[in-house]
Structure 1
Amino acid sequence: MPRTTNRTTTQTIRINGARVRLVTKNGKVTATPALPLESDCQAAQVRALKAMPEYGRQFLLAGDQNAAKRGPRAQAIALATGMAAGDPDLRIYMAGGWLRLIENKVGRGRLSHAQVERHAALARLGHTVTVVRATSPDDAAAQAVALVRGWLAANDGENKLQKSA
């Protein structure tokens, strides 16, 4: 008689271009839509932010891919050139010398130990890292645009106060 197990396995694959999560339990396979990759959410944010009319005039951005898998040589080069584990995903450079930082997490994803330490170090220097939790690239883009619009409004108010003083 064949031996049965209660083992559960999970894998994420692409079917017709869409990410799908397959769960096998007791010989039964179920498929559900998988959460997007963090990099897909970040790319959607960059596209949306660059499409804003204020881009290039009131703010610029730069992104990082610190989580990318690297071989030993590439990792050594990255560290030697200043890449730091735990750095936020997006830097938003704003008029007046303001810097805003965005960290992306998909679903209930957690910050890594390096991210917790780096974000705390940045906070000690006065830089707050805003964590955007999204379940789709469109959601991530909408949240980033809303954040930047809020920061621009606050920045305008601060710049007007400084000019009147």
Structure 2
Amino acid sequence: MTKTTTQTTRIAGKRVRIVTRVTATGTSVKVTDAAPKEWELQAAQVRALRAMPEYGKQFLLAGDQNSAKRGPRAQMEATAAGMTPGEADLRIYLAGGQLRMIENKVGKGRLSPAQIDRHAALARLGHPVEVVRADACAGAAVRAVELVRGWLAEASNKPLDKFVECT
């Protein structure tokens, strides 16, 4: 019979994952880097996006952390103030009144039922949410920059809806 336990902790300030396996022939312990937390992916994306030369000129961003753990009173206050379960992690405001959104998941992390419902509702209104899956902060940041660069290119190729005549 094999028994395996997994624990995430800090060793010398670094988050690590400890896997202990006990078998009839002995015990093995394996220590590996722990996956980043979702907020760490988001923070890396925000740093990378704010460093882009287009930031503040062609796009702005706003972050959310609706899934933060709150006590009953804080949860009631957040809900009353409009915090909505399932809202995307990052909103990207593009020139021309366009809104794009990014949801982050670490590795194979699943969307919550609230996220599935909210993302579907947003998509029905014409605001699809891109899900970025990453195992490292650098990968999440690179993917966010790629998405924004693509959105900016897409926006610059769209024809104007209204023409203004010069007199």
TM-score (norm 1): 0.92
Q: Which secondary structure state, in structure 2, belongs to the residue aligned with residue 86 of structure 1? A: coil
1:157 and 1:17 mapped to 2: Cα distance? 47
Q: How far off is 1:23 after superposition? A: 1.1
Q: Give the structure 2 partner of residue 14 of structure 1.
A: 10
Q: Give the structure 2 partner of residue 23 of structure 1.
A: 19
Deviations 1:21-43 (A, max 9, x none): 11122143211111111111100
Q: How far off is 1:164 after superposition? A: 5.6
Unaligned runs of 5+ in 1: none
Q: Which secondary structure state, in structure 1, belongs to the residue aligned with residue 73 of structure 2? A: helix
Q: Which secondary structure state, in structure 2, belongs to the residue aligned with residue 140 of structure 1? A: helix
Q: Give the structure 1 partner of residue 161 of structure 2.
A: 162
Q: Give the structure 1 partner of residue 125 of structure 2.
A: 125
Q: How far off is 1:161 after superposition? A: 3.6
Deviations 1:106-164 (A, max 9, x none): 11111111111110111111110000011111110000001000000111112x44366
After superposition, the CA RMSD in angstroms is 1.4
1:46-57 mapped onto 2 (5 Å cutoff)? 46-57=46-57
1:86 and 1:14 mapped to 2: Cα distance? 30
Q: Give the structure 2 partner of residue 112 of structure 1.
A: 112
Moved more, 20-29 or 88-97: 20-29
Q: Which secondary structure state, in structure 2, belongs to the residue aligned with residue 79 of structure 1? A: helix
Deviations 1:67-112 (A, max 9, x none): 1100011000110000011100000001000000000011111111
TM-score (norm 2): 0.91
The answer as to 2:37 corresponding to 1:41 is no
Q: Which secondary structure state, in structure 1, belongs to the residue aligned with residue 77 of structure 2? A: helix
Q: Give the structure 2 partner of residue 81 of structure 1.
A: 81
Matched-pair identity in %: 65
Number of equivalent positions: 160
Question: What amino acid is aligned across from residue 162 of structure 1 in structure 2?
Answer: D
Q: Give the structure 1 partner of residue 139 of structure 2.
A: 139
1:162 and 1:155 mapped to 2: Cα distance? 12
Q: Which secondary structure state, in structure 2, belongs to the residue aligned with residue 162 of structure 1? A: coil
1:144 and 1:164 mapped to 2: Cα distance? 33
